[in-house]
Amino acid sequence: MTTHTPHDGTGAPWGAPDAEPKIRFRGVTRTFDLGREEFVALGGVDLDVADQEFVTIVGPSGCGKSTMLNILAGLDAPTTGEVTVDGVPVDGPSPDRGVIFQQYALFPWLTVRKNVEFGLKVAGVGAAERRARAEHFIDLVGLTAFADAYPKTLSGGMKQRCAIARAYAVDPQVLLMDEPFGALDALTRVTLQEQLLQTWSQERRTVAFITHDVDEAVFLANRVIVMAARPGRIHEIVPVDLPYPRTEDVRLSPEFAEIRNRVRHAVYHQQAAPAA
């Protein structure tokens, strides 16, 4: 069987078919204690994500998307089951798993350059290497002209590009993004989607990305994970067999429309889970 990469134009995955998954969810549940009752946010999630794969996660509000991502980030823990990265159980946050949220979370008192360098400084990386790495990623996200600007002078899209550069700079194995473009206007969003894919194809990290926008989910992903609510669970996984680079032509193609319709159908026509 041929091994594809995300970069060979086929849109097919990303590592050897029999390779160990980068990320593995096995029987993951998360229950919240609400006093008199328990709320099952995740009712049992099994999922493998391959090394260098880009998966997007969509589903109705409250279906447990953020809960899944927080568990993978190590910011929350499953009630039962296990999440592993490279076969190692996740038991807390790690620099190997970079997280980007909708709110930009930049340090307002630091310039773009210093924001991007921050994680490297914490990791003890020397000044010269810090600067070189920061410059590389600032350039990659198109912020070179703003390297010495402070966050308050940047647009929302520029802040999020800075957050992406900062996350990549510390060289995480896995990038976790929780609606990172949710607060941006449609045009900025499209530009950032293309830029993120460019960064992904150059840096080859595994990405899990939550969005409410079905077009965004299809445009970015190798596979779209469609979730259902009550309890939160995986409803359907839709492969996105579209070529790279993903350009405006890809977005306007009948193949894109067909996959988008399939995802929309999976999101909007979900059957309620049978009562236990």
Ligand X SMILES: Nc1ncnc2c1ncn2[C@@H]1O[C@H](COP(=O)(O)OP(=O)(O)OP(=O)(O)O)[C@@H](O)[C@H]1O
Contact footprint for ligand X (CB under 6 A): 32, 39, 41, 59, 61-67, 232
The CB-of-274 to ligand X minimum distance in angstroms stands at 19
Q: Which is nearer to ligand X, 61 or 271 (CB)?
A: 61
Q: Which is nearer to ligand X, 37 or 148 (CB)?
A: 37
Paired tokens of 196 = 């993120």
Q: Which is nearer to ligand X, 62 or 156 (CB)?
A: 62
Are the C-beta atoms of 42 and 68 separated by less than 8 Å?
yes
Q: Which is nearer to ligand X, 64 or 172 (CB)?
A: 64
The CB-of-63 to ligand X minimum distance in angstroms stands at 4
Q: Which is nearer to ligand X, 223 or 246 (CB)?
A: 223
Question: In one letter, which amino acid is 271?
Answer: Q
Per the listing, tokens 């990305």 go with: 209
The CB-of-41 to ligand X minimum distance in angstroms stands at 3
The CB-of-76 to ligand X minimum distance in angstroms stands at 8
Cα–Cα distance list, 112 to 88, 125, 158, 166, 175 (Å): 33, 18, 10, 9, 20
The CB-of-229 to ligand X minimum distance in angstroms stands at 7
Per the listing, tokens 């939160």 go with: 232
Can you list the pairs that 92-98 forms with residues at least 24 positions away whose Cβ atoms lie under 8 Å? 95/119, 95/123, 95/170, 95/172, 96/172, 96/173, 96/174, 97/72, 97/73, 97/172, 97/173, 97/174, 97/175, 97/176, 98/167, 98/168, 98/170, 98/172, 98/174, 98/175, 98/176
Q: Which is nearer to ligand X, 41 or 263 (CB)?
A: 41
Distance CA 162, CA 142 (A): 9
Paired tokens of 201 = 């194809």
The CB-of-117 to ligand X minimum distance in angstroms stands at 31
